[in-house]
Structure 1
Amino acid sequence: MVIEELYAHRDIIQKVIDTLSADIEAACHTMVAVLKDGKKVLIAGNGGSAADAQHIAAELSGRFLKERKALPGIALTVDTSALTAIANDYGYNHVFSRQVEALAQPGDLFIGISTSGNSQGILNAFEAATKIGCKTLGLSGRDGGKMNAICDLNIIIPSDVTARIQEMHILIGHILCKAVDDAY
Protein backbone atom coordinates (compact mmCIF):
# COMPACT_ATOMS: atom_id res chain seq x y z
CA MET A 1 0.00 0.00 0.00
CA VAL A 2 2.70 2.52 0.93
CA ILE A 3 4.72 1.92 -2.22
CA GLU A 4 1.56 2.27 -4.34
CA GLU A 5 0.87 5.69 -2.81
CA LEU A 6 4.46 6.79 -3.41
CA TYR A 7 4.30 5.64 -7.03
CA ALA A 8 0.98 7.44 -7.52
CA HIS A 9 2.56 10.61 -6.14
CA ARG A 10 5.58 10.19 -8.41
CA ASP A 11 3.37 9.63 -11.45
CA ILE A 12 1.32 12.79 -10.91
CA ILE A 13 4.47 14.85 -10.37
CA GLN A 14 5.78 13.59 -13.70
CA LYS A 15 2.51 14.55 -15.42
CA VAL A 16 2.68 18.02 -13.87
CA ILE A 17 6.28 18.44 -15.04
CA ASP A 18 5.39 17.27 -18.54
CA THR A 19 2.23 19.34 -19.01
CA LEU A 20 2.10 22.28 -16.59
CA SER A 21 5.61 23.73 -16.26
CA ALA A 22 4.86 26.68 -18.56
CA ASP A 23 1.63 27.50 -16.71
CA ILE A 24 3.35 27.32 -13.33
CA GLU A 25 6.12 29.58 -14.66
CA ALA A 26 3.48 32.07 -15.87
CA ALA A 27 1.79 31.98 -12.46
CA CYS A 28 5.14 32.70 -10.78
CA HIS A 29 5.71 35.72 -13.03
CA THR A 30 2.22 37.02 -12.28
CA MET A 31 2.55 36.67 -8.52
CA VAL A 32 5.97 38.30 -8.44
CA ALA A 33 4.79 41.17 -10.68
CA VAL A 34 1.74 41.79 -8.48
CA LEU A 35 3.85 41.93 -5.31
CA LYS A 36 6.59 44.04 -6.92
CA ASP A 37 3.85 46.49 -7.97
CA GLY A 38 2.91 46.91 -4.30
CA LYS A 39 -0.30 44.91 -4.58
CA LYS A 40 -1.52 41.99 -2.49
CA VAL A 41 -2.42 38.33 -2.91
CA LEU A 42 -5.80 37.09 -1.64
CA ILE A 43 -6.30 33.32 -1.44
CA ALA A 44 -9.33 31.14 -0.73
CA GLY A 45 -10.42 27.51 -0.74
CA ASN A 46 -12.64 25.11 1.19
CA GLY A 47 -11.57 22.23 3.46
CA GLY A 48 -8.06 21.06 2.60
CA SER A 49 -7.85 23.87 0.05
CA ALA A 50 -8.54 26.35 2.87
CA ALA A 51 -5.51 24.96 4.67
CA ASP A 52 -3.48 25.40 1.47
CA ALA A 53 -4.68 29.01 1.17
CA GLN A 54 -3.57 29.71 4.73
CA HIS A 55 -0.25 27.98 4.17
CA ILE A 56 0.59 30.05 1.08
CA ALA A 57 -0.50 33.30 2.75
CA ALA A 58 1.68 32.52 5.77
CA GLU A 59 4.70 31.89 3.54
CA LEU A 60 4.22 35.37 2.03
CA SER A 61 3.68 37.36 5.22
CA GLY A 62 6.24 35.34 7.16
CA ARG A 63 8.90 33.80 5.03
CA PHE A 64 9.43 30.79 2.83
CA LEU A 65 13.12 29.85 2.62
CA LYS A 66 15.00 33.10 3.09
CA GLU A 67 14.79 36.30 5.05
CA ARG A 68 12.99 38.99 3.06
CA LYS A 69 10.47 41.68 3.75
CA ALA A 70 6.98 40.62 4.77
CA LEU A 71 4.60 40.55 1.81
CA PRO A 72 0.81 40.92 1.75
CA GLY A 73 -0.70 37.45 1.48
CA ILE A 74 -4.21 37.16 2.91
CA ALA A 75 -6.12 33.92 3.35
CA LEU A 76 -9.84 34.66 3.19
CA THR A 77 -10.49 31.52 5.24
CA VAL A 78 -9.34 32.67 8.67
CA ASP A 79 -11.70 35.40 9.88
CA THR A 80 -14.39 33.36 11.62
CA SER A 81 -16.51 36.41 12.38
CA ALA A 82 -16.57 37.47 8.73
CA LEU A 83 -17.11 33.90 7.52
CA THR A 84 -20.03 33.23 9.84
CA ALA A 85 -21.65 36.65 9.49
CA ILE A 86 -21.49 36.54 5.70
CA ALA A 87 -22.70 32.93 5.62
CA ASN A 88 -25.58 33.83 7.93
CA ASP A 89 -26.59 37.00 6.08
CA TYR A 90 -25.82 36.09 2.45
CA GLY A 91 -25.28 32.32 2.36
CA TYR A 92 -22.06 30.30 2.41
CA ASN A 93 -21.49 30.71 -1.33
CA HIS A 94 -20.71 34.40 -0.71
CA VAL A 95 -18.19 34.13 2.15
CA PHE A 96 -15.24 34.73 -0.17
CA SER A 97 -16.79 37.08 -2.73
CA ARG A 98 -17.89 39.54 -0.05
CA GLN A 99 -14.37 39.57 1.39
CA VAL A 100 -12.91 40.08 -2.08
CA GLU A 101 -15.28 43.03 -2.55
CA ALA A 102 -14.14 44.48 0.79
CA LEU A 103 -10.40 43.88 0.54
CA ALA A 104 -9.32 43.67 -3.11
CA GLN A 105 -8.07 46.52 -5.25
CA PRO A 106 -7.39 46.65 -8.98
CA GLY A 107 -4.12 44.87 -9.75
CA ASP A 108 -4.26 42.52 -6.76
CA LEU A 109 -4.09 38.77 -7.35
CA PHE A 110 -6.89 36.44 -6.28
CA ILE A 111 -5.98 32.76 -6.07
CA GLY A 112 -8.90 30.37 -5.83
CA ILE A 113 -8.26 26.74 -4.95
CA SER A 114 -10.83 24.04 -5.75
CA THR A 115 -10.02 20.42 -6.52
CA SER A 116 -13.13 20.14 -8.72
CA GLY A 117 -13.00 23.64 -10.16
CA ASN A 118 -16.71 23.94 -9.39
CA SER A 119 -16.95 25.28 -5.83
CA GLN A 120 -19.64 27.96 -6.07
CA GLY A 121 -18.10 30.11 -3.35
CA ILE A 122 -14.77 30.15 -5.18
CA LEU A 123 -16.50 30.85 -8.52
CA ASN A 124 -18.33 33.81 -6.95
CA ALA A 125 -15.04 35.12 -5.58
CA PHE A 126 -13.45 34.92 -9.05
CA GLU A 127 -16.35 36.92 -10.48
CA ALA A 128 -15.99 39.57 -7.77
CA ALA A 129 -12.22 39.76 -8.29
CA THR A 130 -12.63 40.15 -12.05
CA LYS A 131 -15.16 42.99 -11.61
CA ILE A 132 -12.69 44.82 -9.38
CA GLY A 133 -9.83 44.37 -11.85
CA CYS A 134 -7.79 41.74 -10.03
CA LYS A 135 -5.64 39.19 -11.75
CA THR A 136 -6.98 35.68 -11.15
CA LEU A 137 -5.24 32.34 -10.75
CA GLY A 138 -7.01 29.03 -10.26
CA LEU A 139 -5.60 25.83 -8.84
CA SER A 140 -7.93 22.99 -9.74
CA GLY A 141 -8.00 19.37 -10.82
CA ARG A 142 -10.03 16.90 -12.85
CA ASP A 143 -11.14 18.84 -15.96
CA GLY A 144 -10.80 22.29 -14.35
CA GLY A 145 -14.54 22.67 -14.01
CA LYS A 146 -16.24 26.04 -14.33
CA MET A 147 -13.04 27.78 -13.23
CA ASN A 148 -11.74 27.34 -16.79
CA ALA A 149 -14.08 30.05 -18.02
CA ILE A 150 -13.45 32.64 -15.32
CA CYS A 151 -9.73 32.57 -14.41
CA ASP A 152 -6.93 34.37 -16.18
CA LEU A 153 -5.00 31.14 -15.66
CA ASN A 154 -6.35 27.88 -14.26
CA ILE A 155 -3.66 25.33 -13.43
CA ILE A 156 -5.45 22.00 -13.73
CA ILE A 157 -3.83 19.02 -12.04
CA PRO A 158 -4.38 16.05 -14.39
CA SER A 159 -5.97 13.73 -11.85
CA ASP A 160 -9.37 12.73 -10.47
CA VAL A 161 -7.91 11.80 -7.07
CA THR A 162 -8.42 14.58 -4.52
CA ALA A 163 -5.31 13.67 -2.52
CA ARG A 164 -3.07 13.85 -5.60
CA ILE A 165 -4.62 17.18 -6.64
CA GLN A 166 -4.11 18.67 -3.19
CA GLU A 167 -0.51 17.43 -3.03
CA MET A 168 0.24 19.21 -6.29
CA HIS A 169 -1.55 22.38 -5.19
CA ILE A 170 0.70 22.79 -2.18
CA LEU A 171 3.75 21.95 -4.30
CA ILE A 172 2.73 24.71 -6.73
CA GLY A 173 2.16 27.02 -3.75
CA HIS A 174 5.72 26.35 -2.64
CA ILE A 175 7.03 26.97 -6.16
CA LEU A 176 5.18 30.31 -6.22
CA CYS A 177 6.71 31.24 -2.87
CA LYS A 178 10.19 30.22 -4.07
CA ALA A 179 9.76 32.52 -7.09
CA VAL A 180 8.83 35.34 -4.69
CA ASP A 181 11.87 34.60 -2.52
CA ASP A 182 14.10 34.67 -5.60
CA ALA A 183 12.67 38.07 -6.61
CA TYR A 184 13.33 39.71 -3.22
Structure 2
Amino acid sequence: MAEMSEVQAAVRVTARLLDAVAADEALCEAAAAAARACIAALRAGRKILICGNGGSAADAQHWAGELVSRFHYDRPGLPAIALTTDSSILTAIGNDYGYDRVFARQVEALGVAGDALLAISTSGNSPNVVAALQAARERGLATIGFTGQAGGRMAELCDICIRIPSDSTPRIQEGHEVLGHTICAMIEAAIFPRPPA
Protein backbone atom coordinates (compact mmCIF):
# COMPACT_ATOMS: atom_id res chain seq x y z
CA MET A 1 0.00 0.00 0.00
CA ALA A 2 2.89 2.37 0.74
CA GLU A 3 4.22 1.77 -2.76
CA MET A 4 0.87 2.72 -4.29
CA SER A 5 0.83 5.97 -2.32
CA GLU A 6 4.34 6.73 -3.55
CA VAL A 7 3.19 6.21 -7.16
CA GLN A 8 0.17 8.45 -6.64
CA ALA A 9 2.31 11.16 -5.04
CA ALA A 10 4.74 11.09 -7.98
CA VAL A 11 1.93 11.35 -10.52
CA ARG A 12 0.42 14.28 -8.63
CA VAL A 13 3.75 16.14 -8.72
CA THR A 14 3.84 15.79 -12.49
CA ALA A 15 0.16 16.72 -12.78
CA ARG A 16 0.83 19.95 -10.87
CA LEU A 17 3.73 20.73 -13.17
CA LEU A 18 1.62 20.18 -16.28
CA ASP A 19 -1.13 22.36 -14.83
CA ALA A 20 1.48 25.10 -14.37
CA VAL A 21 2.66 24.63 -17.97
CA ALA A 22 -0.91 24.85 -19.29
CA ALA A 23 -1.55 28.03 -17.26
CA ASP A 24 1.63 29.76 -18.49
CA GLU A 25 0.50 31.67 -21.57
CA ALA A 26 4.02 32.79 -22.52
CA LEU A 27 5.30 29.22 -22.34
CA CYS A 28 2.40 27.88 -24.40
CA GLU A 29 2.96 30.63 -26.98
CA ALA A 30 6.67 29.69 -27.13
CA ALA A 31 5.69 26.10 -27.93
CA ALA A 32 3.23 27.30 -30.57
CA ALA A 33 5.94 29.54 -32.04
CA ALA A 34 8.31 26.56 -32.13
CA ALA A 35 5.73 24.59 -34.10
CA ARG A 36 5.28 27.52 -36.50
CA ALA A 37 9.05 27.77 -37.05
CA CYS A 38 9.29 24.06 -37.82
CA ILE A 39 6.29 24.24 -40.14
CA ALA A 40 7.85 27.18 -41.99
CA ALA A 41 11.11 25.26 -42.39
CA LEU A 42 9.35 22.19 -43.77
CA ARG A 43 7.15 24.22 -46.12
CA ALA A 44 10.32 25.82 -47.49
CA GLY A 45 11.75 22.39 -48.28
CA ARG A 46 14.09 22.40 -45.28
CA LYS A 47 14.50 19.97 -42.38
CA ILE A 48 14.54 19.69 -38.62
CA LEU A 49 17.69 18.72 -36.69
CA ILE A 50 17.37 17.65 -33.05
CA CYS A 51 20.04 17.14 -30.35
CA GLY A 52 20.46 16.50 -26.63
CA ASN A 53 22.28 14.27 -24.15
CA GLY A 54 21.07 11.31 -22.11
CA GLY A 55 17.30 11.47 -21.65
CA SER A 56 17.27 14.46 -23.97
CA ALA A 57 19.01 12.32 -26.63
CA ALA A 58 16.14 9.87 -26.22
CA ASP A 59 13.70 12.75 -26.74
CA ALA A 60 15.59 13.82 -29.88
CA GLN A 61 15.30 10.33 -31.32
CA HIS A 62 11.68 10.00 -30.22
CA TRP A 63 10.56 13.26 -31.84
CA ALA A 64 12.49 12.56 -35.04
CA GLY A 65 10.77 9.19 -35.18
CA GLU A 66 7.34 10.77 -34.77
CA LEU A 67 8.04 13.08 -37.70
CA VAL A 68 9.82 10.72 -40.09
CA SER A 69 7.39 7.85 -39.48
CA ARG A 70 3.98 9.07 -38.27
CA PHE A 71 2.27 10.49 -35.21
CA HIS A 72 -1.54 10.44 -35.17
CA TYR A 73 -2.21 9.11 -38.68
CA ASP A 74 -0.63 7.86 -41.90
CA ARG A 75 0.92 10.51 -44.16
CA PRO A 76 4.23 11.06 -46.00
CA GLY A 77 7.35 11.25 -43.84
CA LEU A 78 8.77 14.56 -42.69
CA PRO A 79 12.52 15.30 -42.80
CA ALA A 80 13.86 15.24 -39.24
CA ILE A 81 17.26 14.01 -38.05
CA ALA A 82 18.32 13.18 -34.51
CA LEU A 83 22.02 14.08 -34.22
CA THR A 84 22.39 11.53 -31.42
CA THR A 85 22.20 8.21 -33.27
CA ASP A 86 25.20 7.51 -35.51
CA SER A 87 27.86 5.95 -33.32
CA SER A 88 30.56 6.22 -36.00
CA ILE A 89 29.94 9.94 -36.47
CA LEU A 90 29.68 10.61 -32.74
CA THR A 91 32.86 8.72 -31.88
CA ALA A 92 34.81 10.16 -34.83
CA ILE A 93 33.93 13.72 -33.88
CA GLY A 94 34.48 13.01 -30.19
CA ASN A 95 37.90 11.52 -30.94
CA ASP A 96 39.02 14.13 -33.46
CA TYR A 97 37.48 17.31 -32.04
CA GLY A 98 36.23 16.52 -28.54
CA TYR A 99 32.80 15.69 -27.12
CA ASP A 100 31.79 19.35 -27.00
CA ARG A 101 31.76 19.35 -30.83
CA VAL A 102 29.67 16.21 -31.48
CA PHE A 103 26.52 18.15 -32.40
CA ALA A 104 28.06 21.36 -33.77
CA ARG A 105 30.09 19.45 -36.35
CA GLN A 106 26.94 17.74 -37.59
CA VAL A 107 25.10 21.07 -37.77
CA GLU A 108 28.02 22.42 -39.81
CA ALA A 109 27.86 19.42 -42.16
CA LEU A 110 24.08 19.00 -42.48
CA GLY A 111 22.48 22.32 -41.57
CA VAL A 112 21.52 24.94 -44.12
CA ALA A 113 19.83 28.30 -43.78
CA GLY A 114 16.13 27.82 -43.22
CA ASP A 115 16.45 24.54 -41.31
CA ALA A 116 15.34 24.36 -37.68
CA LEU A 117 17.43 23.06 -34.78
CA LEU A 118 15.66 21.74 -31.71
CA ALA A 119 18.23 21.77 -28.90
CA ILE A 120 17.36 20.02 -25.64
CA SER A 121 19.15 20.49 -22.28
CA THR A 122 17.45 20.47 -18.90
CA SER A 123 20.13 22.78 -17.47
CA GLY A 124 20.45 24.91 -20.59
CA ASN A 125 24.22 24.70 -20.18
CA SER A 126 25.31 21.45 -21.89
CA PRO A 127 28.48 22.52 -23.76
CA ASN A 128 27.83 20.40 -26.84
CA VAL A 129 24.23 21.64 -27.13
CA VAL A 130 25.36 25.26 -26.67
CA ALA A 131 27.99 24.73 -29.40
CA ALA A 132 25.34 23.30 -31.72
CA LEU A 133 23.19 26.40 -31.20
CA GLN A 134 26.15 28.65 -31.94
CA ALA A 135 26.85 26.75 -35.17
CA ALA A 136 23.18 26.89 -36.12
CA ARG A 137 22.98 30.65 -35.62
CA GLU A 138 26.06 31.15 -37.78
CA ARG A 139 24.36 29.22 -40.58
CA GLY A 140 20.94 30.82 -40.40
CA LEU A 141 18.97 27.99 -38.84
CA ALA A 142 15.98 28.71 -36.64
CA THR A 143 17.11 27.88 -33.09
CA ILE A 144 14.61 26.40 -30.66
CA GLY A 145 15.64 25.44 -27.13
CA PHE A 146 14.02 23.18 -24.55
CA THR A 147 15.35 23.89 -21.04
CA GLY A 148 14.37 24.19 -17.41
CA GLN A 149 13.12 27.42 -15.87
CA ALA A 150 16.56 29.07 -15.65
CA GLY A 151 17.25 28.75 -19.38
CA GLY A 152 21.01 28.69 -18.85
CA ARG A 153 23.40 29.71 -21.60
CA MET A 154 20.96 28.47 -24.20
CA ALA A 155 18.44 31.23 -23.51
CA GLU A 156 20.48 33.87 -25.33
CA LEU A 157 21.21 31.57 -28.29
CA CYS A 158 17.64 30.54 -29.04
CA ASP A 159 15.14 32.33 -31.23
CA ILE A 160 12.54 30.52 -29.12
CA CYS A 161 13.30 29.10 -25.67
CA ILE A 162 10.79 26.73 -24.08
CA ARG A 163 11.50 26.84 -20.34
CA ILE A 164 9.72 24.26 -18.22
CA PRO A 165 8.95 25.86 -14.80
CA SER A 166 11.02 23.47 -12.68
CA ASP A 167 14.58 22.85 -11.49
CA SER A 168 14.04 19.08 -11.23
CA THR A 169 15.55 17.15 -14.16
CA PRO A 170 12.81 14.47 -14.28
CA ARG A 171 10.05 17.08 -14.13
CA ILE A 172 11.71 19.17 -16.85
CA GLN A 173 12.01 16.07 -19.04
CA GLU A 174 8.33 15.27 -18.50
CA GLY A 175 7.39 18.78 -19.55
CA HIS A 176 9.62 18.54 -22.62
CA GLU A 177 7.97 15.29 -23.62
CA VAL A 178 4.44 16.71 -23.45
CA LEU A 179 5.34 19.84 -25.41
CA GLY A 180 7.50 17.89 -27.87
CA HIS A 181 4.55 15.62 -28.62
CA THR A 182 2.28 18.63 -28.98
CA ILE A 183 4.66 20.29 -31.42
CA CYS A 184 4.94 17.07 -33.46
CA ALA A 185 1.13 16.88 -33.64
CA MET A 186 0.87 20.52 -34.72
CA ILE A 187 3.51 20.01 -37.43
CA GLU A 188 1.79 16.89 -38.74
CA ALA A 189 -1.63 18.56 -38.88
CA ALA A 190 -0.28 21.66 -40.63
CA ILE A 191 1.85 19.93 -43.28
CA PHE A 192 -0.45 16.98 -43.93
CA PRO A 193 -3.95 17.75 -42.64
CA ARG A 194 -5.81 14.69 -41.41
CA PRO A 195 -7.84 13.21 -44.26
CA PRO A 196 -11.61 13.37 -43.81
CA ALA A 197 -13.14 10.33 -42.13
Partner of 1:18: 23
Q: Which amino acid aligns with 2:123?
A: S
**2:78 partner SS:** coil
Pair 1:169-2:154 in alignment: no
Larger radius of gyration: 2
Distance 2:54 2:120 in 1: 10
Pair 1:9-2:33 in alignment: no
Partner of 1:70: 77
Structure 1 residue 142: Cα displacement: 3.4
Within a 5 Å distance, the mapping from 1:1-184 to structure 2 comes to: 1-19=6-24, 20-183=27-190, 184=192
Structure 1 residue 172: Cα displacement: 1.1
Distance 1:9 1:48 in 2: 17
TM-score by length of 2: 0.92
Q: In structure 1, list runs of 5 or more residues that go unmatched.
A: none
Distance 2:30 2:158 in 1: 13
Structure 1 residue 69: Cα displacement: 1.0
Residue deviations 1:16-38 (CA, integer Å, cap 9, x gap): 11111111111111111111111
**2:103 partner SS:** helix
Distance 1:117 1:93 in 2: 14
Distance 2:127 2:40 in 1: 28
Structure 1 residue 167: Cα displacement: 0.8
Distance 2:30 2:7 in 1: 31
RMSD: 0.7
Structure 1 residue 139: Cα displacement: 0.3
Q: In structure 2, list runs of 5 or more residues that go unmatched.
A: 1-5, 193-197
Q: Which amino acid aligns with 2:20?
A: K
Aligned residues: 184
Distance 2:178 2:39 in 1: 17
Partner of 2:195: none
Residue deviations 1:25-60 (CA, integer Å, cap 9, x gap): 111111111111111000000000000000000111
**1:154 partner SS:** strand
Residue deviations 1:68-113 (CA, integer Å, cap 9, x gap): 1111100000010010010001100000000000000100000100
**2:105 partner SS:** helix
Distance 2:180 2:8 in 1: 25
**1:136 partner SS:** strand
